[in-house]
Amino acid sequence: MIALLRRDLAIATRAGGGFGLGLAFFLVVVVLVPFGVGPETSVLTRIAPGVLWIGALLACLLSLDRMFALDYEDGSLDLLATAPIPLEGVVAVKALAHWLTTGLPLTLMAPLLAVLLNLPPQGFVWLVVSLALGTPALSVIGAFGAALTVGLRRGGLLLSLLVLPLYVPTLIFGAEAARRGAEGMEAGTPLALLTGISLGCAALMPFAAAAALRVNLR
């Protein structure tokens, strides 16, 4: 399992691994928002938590289709499926690797971008905490979507269609926590619910994803 994690991290961070693309995408999306809604600081301050959450979510989505597709195409997944590691473990490790290479960097980058959107000072902590607690759910749910669409030629688009509705609860609680934090309100409840979703997804989604992978490997 650790070997798999180290391999996936190595592949992701080396040339052509796509690491950094998600971050760049996040940056571009956030930079584009003021062009769309106008430069008024009060407006930007109001929408900053939501925009940052949606930007992070879309950036997360961007690299999902590679999660299993590469291993599927080059036959690695066949050998992994017959390896002594359970396929559920493979899914969990790959989701963790995805989070370490996208969710975590996005979380760390969000405060920098928050400056561009005039997020009030008290909102920074809540933004980072909500992203740190919420992005793991995005990775695990995404792993399920990636497992469903792994054998398909044009899986990327379908993956978005399948995964985005599943992201609704995570987005609602995550963005709500960030928003309440930014407005100086109590943000504990949405954060607790967000954590619950992340934990629940991390515990259960690998089983669904592994089931889908087994079907696709047949």
Contacting residues toward other proteins, per CB under 8 A: 2-4, 6-7, 10-11, 14-17, 71, 73-76, 78-85, 144, 148-149, 151-152, 154-155, 158, 161-162, 164-166, 168-169, 172-173, 176, 190, 193, 197, 205, 208, 211-212, 215-218
Rank residues 10 and 199 by Cβ distance to other proteins and give the closer one.
10
For the bound state, the minimum distance from the C-beta of residue 170 to other proteins, rounded and expressed in Å, comes to 8
Number of CB atoms found within 10 A of residue 30's CB: 23
For the bound state, the minimum distance from the C-beta of residue 166 to other proteins, rounded and expressed in Å, comes to 5
Contact (Cβ atoms closer than 8 angstroms) between residue 8 and residue 97: yes
Question: Phi and psi dihedrals of 118, rounded to 5?
Answer: 55, 40
Rank residues 68 and 173 by Cβ distance to other proteins and give the closer one.
173
For the bound state, the minimum distance from the C-beta of residue 150 to other proteins, rounded and expressed in Å, comes to 10
Spatial neighbors of 11 by CB under 8 A, at least 6 apart, are 17
Rank residues 29 and 70 by Cβ distance to other proteins and give the closer one.
70
Rounded CA gap, 139 and 158, in Å?
A: 17
Q: Residue type for 83, please?
A: A
Rank residues 70 and 104 by Cβ distance to other proteins and give the closer one.
70
Rounded CA gap, 145 and 91, in Å?
A: 11
Rank residues 45 and 76 by Cβ distance to other proteins and give the closer one.
76
Contacts made by residues 167-171, CB under 8 angstroms, sequence distance 24+: 167/57, 167/138, 167/141, 169/197, 170/57, 170/134, 170/137, 170/138, 170/141, 170/194, 170/197, 170/198, 171/53, 171/54, 171/57
For the bound state, the minimum distance from the C-beta of residue 162 to other proteins, rounded and expressed in Å, comes to 4
Rounded CA gap, 114 and 121, in Å?
A: 10
For the bound state, the minimum distance from the C-beta of residue 148 to other proteins, rounded and expressed in Å, comes to 5
Rank residues 24 and 204 by Cβ distance to other proteins and give the closer one.
204
